[in-house]
Amino acid sequence: MASRRDFLHQGARLAAIGVIGAPLAAAATDLQPPPDLFDSQALDLDFWVKPRTLSVTRPQSGETANVLYWKDGEVIESAYQELCHLLRDVNGKASAPIDPKLFEMLWSTQAFIARFGIIKPLEILSGYRSPASNARLREQGIPAARQSLHLVGKAADIRIANLNEEVLGGLIKSFRGGGVGYYYRSGPRGGWIHADTGLARTWKG
């Protein structure tokens, strides 16, 4: 009889096959993974103690980076500062300290899917957001809460190429590290996922 881990690995591979190469604009409701398909709580200790490198890209600025930011149980300060800069407010040209737990959430998401051959950078659509930038978004009718966790460096809007919102959001949610917002959009680039280190909650925007 297949073990829970066997089921997890097989299910993740099937999910990956179902989304790789599919248009990002595909309806997110096309894929309905079982509730425990991405149960990251089943990960073993080896996953959590290895060095952590985060691969990110910022479409707005054209920046890309692979940053080793955690090793031997400690955050590497210079790398942490580099990541804070990468998650800066590109529009407002302002930066702020980013919650280290957010980097852990982003890294674990990327590292998990890499186990199944999906080697893609995280597209950071929005990281830290200054009050002025947040207000401008609201004026433009773009979803931006008045007390957004982007304002305090505890949230990021992300996307991974060829991974739809339902799958990506479900994986992040399984880490139980905070809030997950699903933003479904049509078009060549598709939607995105809001991930934060606040209270555990989910919503659709």
Half-sphere exposure of 93 (CA within 13 A, CB side): 0
| Residues 69, 75: Cα–Cα separation, whole Å | 6
Q: If you count them, how many residues does the chain have?
A: 205
Beta bridge partners of 202: 180
* H helices, E strands: number in the chain: 6, 8
| Residues 203, 34: Cα–Cα separation, whole Å | 18
Task: Compute the average pLDDT of residues 49-61.
Answer: 95
pLDDT tens readout for residues 66-88: 999 999 999 999 999 999 999 99
pLDDT at 27: 35
Nearest to 74 by CA among 98, 49, 55: 49
**Domain extents in the chain:** 4-204
| Residues 16, 153: Cα–Cα separation, whole Å | 30
Residue with tokens 């290895």: 50
pTM of the predicted model, to two decimals?
A: 0.79
Residue 9 has pLDDT above 70, yes or no: no
For residue 79, give both structure tokens.
């790398």
pLDDT tens readout for residues 17-37: 334 333 333 333 333 443 444
Task: Give domain 4-204's CATH number out of 3.30.1380.10, 3.40.640.10, 2.40.240.20, 2.60.290.11.
Answer: 3.30.1380.10
